[in-house]
Amino acid sequence: MRPPLLRALAATAFAAVALPAVLVAQDGAALYARCAACHQANGTGVPGAFPPLAGSEWVVGKPDAAIRILLHGVQGALTVKGVTYNQSMPAYGTGQIMTDAEVAAVLTYVRTSFGNKASAVTAAQVAGVRAATKGRKAQWMEAELKPFR
Ligand code: HEC
């Protein structure tokens, strides 16, 4: 039997390791509230206005296109699941800047919810895209994003 202090330390170490993963998952769901006004709570979007995230080729492919969309927005003709939208999403919907960790968390949530089964997104992946697109001001157009999905 280990002394009580050692057992307490072991328990603390376990909590320290286990907690962040739980927090990231919760963050993603909470952050999605910022997207739900347009893309809807269940990711179906609104026909003719807001494209769906459920089953979207922009969501479940490589994460690089979706990361770009959150960092700088997207505008103009954009085809999602065979339907062409021609709207505008400002940088992450409201023009606010999200941190790398927030973009990673919300995209991980979106890629693993609404029936989507894509890989998690890391803050490091978001940081890489942020660095690669540094200095960009304009929203993206579909043709620029296609190579990244
Ligand atoms: C103010 C409304 C609004 C908000 C808020 C918003 N979006 Fe969008 N989003 C749009 C519109 C409109 C488009 C399509 C733009 C176009 O037609 O060029 C779009 C496109 C997208 C796309 C690519 C197309 C698709 O349906 O897969 C993704 C991915 C996306 N949004 C994710 C998000 C995420 C994640 C959030 C929250 C962090 C978010 N959006 C917040 C309006 C919004």
Tens of pLDDT, residues 82-138: 999 999 999 986 677 899 999 999 999 999 999 999 999 999 999 999 999 999 999
- Position 25 scores a pLDDT of 47
- CA 42–ligand 1 middle distance (angstroms): 14
Residue identifier of the C-alpha nearest atom 41 of ligand 1? 35
The two tokens of residue 41 are: 């709570």
Q: What is the mean pLDDT of residues 37-44?
A: 97
Q: CA dist 84 to 42, 52, 104, 125, Å?
A: 20, 11, 27, 28
Instruction: Determine if residue 26 is left, alpha or beta; phi over 0 gives left, psi from -120 to 50 gives alpha, anything else beta.
Output: alpha
Query: What pLDDT was estimated at residue 96?
Result: 75
Encoded tokens for 28: 């993603």
Query: What's the chain's average pLDDT?
Result: 88
Ligand 1 binding residues, C-beta < 6 A: 34-35, 37-39, 50-53, 56, 58-59, 66, 69-70, 74-76, 78, 80, 85-89, 92-93, 106, 110
**For the chain, what percent of residues have pLDDT higher than 90?**
77
Average pLDDT over residues 139-143: 97
Ligand 1 geometric centre to CA of 51 (Å): 7
Decide yes or no: CATH 1.10.760.10 for domain 4-148: yes
Tell me if the pTM is above 0.95.
no
Mutation choice for ligand 1 from 31, 32, 35, CB with most ligand atoms inside 8 A: 35
